[in-house]
Structure 1
Amino acid sequence: MPDGEDALTTLVGLVREDLEVCNRTIVANMDSPVALIPQLAAHIVAAGGKRLRPLLTLAAARMCGYAGGVRHVNLAACVEFIHTATLLHDDVVDESALRRGLASANAVFGNKASVLVGDFLFARAFELMVADGSLKVLGILSRASATISEGEVLQLVTQNDLSTSEERYLDVIRGKTAALFAAACQIGAVVADRPLSEEMALAEYGMNIGIAFQLVDDALDYAADQAQLGKTVGDDFREGKITLPVLVAYTQGTAEERSFWQRTIEECQQTEADLSHAMDLMAHHNAIRITLDRAAHLAAEAQAKLSLFPDSPFKTSLMAVADYTVSRVR
C-alpha cells in the first residue's frame, strides 16, 4: 500500500481521466463576464490545492461501480467549489496572509472581493447540484454546506475559551472540516445507486478521515515549519483558537502553566517568546503526539468502514489516503 504523497499520486493515476474532466468543469464554471471573479478564483485555485475532496468523490463512485456518465465528475467539481468558497471566507475571518504558501486572496484582492467571490462559488456549486437533478444529492451537499457554516460559527464562539470541552472542539471540526469529506464520499455511492449501508459506510469513512485531517492540521500549527504548513506557523496560537494540542497542554498543566495559557489564549496578551514557550509546554505534555495518535486511530476506523466493499484498486487507494491524512508530519 502506498504511503504519504504516493497515496495521492496513485489515486490521481486511477482517476486521471475523470480528474481532467473535473478540472475543465471547474475552470468553465469559474467563468464570468465580471473579470474580477475568474481572476480571484483562479488565484486560489493556482495556489495548488491537492483536490483531495473531489478525488474522494471520483474514487468512491468508481469503487462503487459507477460507469454511467459524468455525474460524479460534475459533483466532484461542486464539492471543490464548496471547499474553495469556504477557504475564501475563512481567510477573511482569520485575517490570513498566506494560503498554501502564497499570498491569500484577501491579502491580494481585499476582504470584500474575497467574500463576494466565495458567495459566487457557493452559487455555482448549487447550480451544479440542481443540474444533477437528484434531490438526494442536493440534500446531502446542502446539509453539508450548512454544517460547515455552523462549525465555523461554533469555532468563532469557542475561540479564546479554555473552558471548551474536547467534545465541543470535536463538534467544531466535525462541522467545519469533516462534514464535506463525509458528503464528498457519500455522493459517490449515491450516483452509483448503491444501498444505504454503503452510502453510510462511505460517509463515516469520510467523516473519520476529515476529523483526522483537521487534527493533524491543528498539530502542524505547532509542529511544522512555514514551508511545510503553507501558512504562518502559530496562526492558531495568535488567534487564540482552541485546538486539541492546546486543550491537552492546558488541562495537564500546572497552575503556572494554566496562567500562561489564560494570558495568551483567553486574553490574547502575547509576546514574541510566547509561541516558543507554548511549543515547549506541548512537548512536555506530549500534546502533539496525543493529537497525532488520535488522528491515527480515526484513520484506522475510516479504513475499517471500507471492509463492506470488495477489493479493488480504488478501495486500496482509499485505504492509503486514510494513512496519508496522518502521514503529513511523520
Structure 2
Amino acid sequence: MGAVVKIEGDRREVASIEAIISLTAQDMGRVNELILARAGSDVEMIPEVANHLISSGGKRLRPMLTLAAAQMFGYNGDAHVKLATSVEFMHTATLLHDDVVDESDLRRGKRTARMIWGNQASVLVGDFLLGQAFRMMVDVGSLDALDILSAAASVIAEGEVMQLGAAKNLETTEENYLSVIGAKTAALFSAAAEVGPIVAGGSSDDRTALRSYGMNLGLAFQLIDDALDYGSDSESLGKNVGDDFREGKVTLPVILSYGRGSDEERAFWKRSIEHGSSDDVSLEKARGLMAKHGSIDDTIARARHFGELARDALKPLAETPQKQALLDVIDFCISRVN
C-alpha cells in the first residue's frame, strides 16, 4: 500500500486575499452585475449553464487582478470593469471547454455542466461567453487591451492542444510541461494583470511589470494545483483528488517521479498513465512513489520560485495598497498546500 503524501512547507503569517477583495469590492460588485447582464440570453439554456458555473463559488481572482492593477495607477473610469468581466468570461469559457476535453465529473465540488446538460451545450455556451467577452473588449475601445486579451485567447487554445499532445506521454519534459501551463493557465493571469495599466495609461515598463507578475503567478498557481491533486482532499481541492492521475494527465509530479524512477517504477507509470490502469490502489502507489522521490516537494519548490519571480516583477513599482495586495495574492496561492 502506498504512502499518503503529506504536503508541507513554509507558510507566511498572513496568506490571504482579503486585501485585494477589500480594495476591489466596489468594482467587483459592478463586475458581478455585468456578469449577470451579459450572461443573459433569450435562449433559455445559455443562462442556465453559464450561471451554474459562474455561481459555483470561485474566488474570481483573475478579474480582481485587472481591477487592482488599474487602481494601482490611479484609474477612475469604468473600462476596467468591462475588461475584468471579459477576463472572467474567458476563464469561465475555458473551464466549460476543459471539463469536456478532460471528461471531468466535478468542478468546485459540484457536478460539471457537461454532466447536467451534456458536452455540446457546455462547448456552445463557452463559445457564447467568449463572444460576449470580445463584445465588451470592443466596447472599451482600447486596441492595446483588445490585442492583449485576444492574443491570450489564442494562446490558451494553443495550450489546450499542447496538453492533448502531452496527455499520457511520459516522455514529456519539464520544459515542455512548463510551456503547456504557461499557455493554458498563466497566459490569462498575465493578460488580466497587464490590461490594468493599459486602461490606466501606465508606461510600457508598468505593463511589462504586471505582465511578468501575472505570468509567474499563473505558473505558481498551476504548479500548486498539480501538487494538491496528489495531496489534498476533494472538498478543499474542488474536484476529486487524483483526477489528474485517473485522466492520464502528465503533470510535473508525474514527470519528476517517472524521470527519477527505477525500471520497475517506470513500468508502473506506463501501466497507470499510458494504459489507464489508474484505480485507487494505483493512486496510492503513485503517491508513495512521489513521496519517495520528493516529487511533490520539488513541485512546490518550483512554484515558490515562480512566486518569487512574480514578487520581483513588482519591485520597481511605487508602494501602494494595491501593490501589497498583489504581493499577498502570491503568498495565498502558495499557501494553499499547507
TM-score range, shorter chain: over 0.9
Q: 1:207, 1:163 → 2: CA distance? A: 25
Counterpart of 1:57? Answer: 66
Cα distance in 2 for partners of 1:234, 1:309 equals 40
* 2:148 equivalent in structure 1: 140
1:8-157 mapped onto 2 (5 Å cutoff)? 8-67=17-76, 69-157=77-165
**What's the CA shift for 1:35?**
1.1
**CA separation in 2, counterparts of 1:2 and 1:139?**
39
The aligned residue for residue 310 of structure 1 is: 318
Deviation at 1:108, TM superposition (A): 1.1
User: 1:282-311 CA distances to partner (integer Å, 9 max, x unpaired)?
Assistant: 011111110011101111110111112111
- 1:240 matches 2:248: yes
Alignment of 1:168-247 (within 5 A): 168-247=176-255
User: For 1:72-97, what per-residue CA distance to the aligned partner results, in whole angstroms no more than 9, with x for missing partners?
Assistant: 01100000000000000000111111
| Alpha-carbon distance between aligned partners in 2 of 1:25 and 1:156, rounded to the nearest angstrom | 33
Q: Which has the higher helix share?
A: 1
Which amino acid is 2:51 matched to? A
User: Given the two structures, how large is their TM-score scaled by the length of structure 2?
Assistant: 0.95
In structure 2, distance between residues paired with 1:208 and 1:164 = 21
Q: Write the letter of the residue equivalent to 1:90.
A: D
How far the C-alpha of 1:2 sits from its partner, in A, is 7.0
Identity %: 51
In structure 1, the gaps of 5 or more residues are none
Higher relative contact order (CA 8 A, sep 6+): 2
Quote the residue 1:290 is aligned against. 298
CA distance in 2, matches of 1:172, 1:27: 32
What do residues 201-231 of structure 1 show as CA deviations (whole Å, max 9, x unaligned)? 1000000000000000011110111111110
Letter in 2 for 1:218: D
After TM superposition, where is structure 1 displaced by more than 3 Å over at least 4 residues in a row?
Answer: none
Question: Per the alignment, in what secondary structure is the counterpart of residue 223 of structure 1?
Answer: coil
Q: Deviations over 1:141-173 (max 9, x none)?
A: 000000000001000011111111111000100
Kept in 2: contact 1:2–1:10 (CA 8 A): no
* Aligned equivalents of 2:112, 2:252: Cα separation in 1: 26
Aligned counterpart, 1:3: 14
Alpha-carbon displacement from aligned partner over 1:258-287 (angstroms, at most 9, x marks no partner): 111111112223343100000000011111
Whole-angstrom distance in 1 between the partners of 2:311 and 2:21: 19
Q: TM-score, normalised by structure 1?
A: 0.97
Question: What is the number of equivalent residue pairs in this alignment?
Answer: 327
Superposed CA RMSD: 1.0
> For structure 2, which runs of at least 5 residues remain unmatched after alignment?
1-11
Equivalent residue of 1:66, what SS? coil
Indicate if the aligned counterparts of 2:245 and 2:278 stay in contact, CA closer than 8 A.
Answer: no
Question: What is the rounded CA distance, in whole Å, between the counterparts of 1:201 and 1:312 in structure 2?
Answer: 15
In the alignment, the residues of structure 2 paired with residue 23 and residue 270 of structure 1 have an alpha-carbon distance, to the nearest angstrom, of: 40
Q: Could you tell me how far apart the structure 1 residues matched to 2:277 and 2:230 are?
A: 18
> Secondary structure at the residue paired with 2:280?
coil
Amino acid at match of 2:96: L
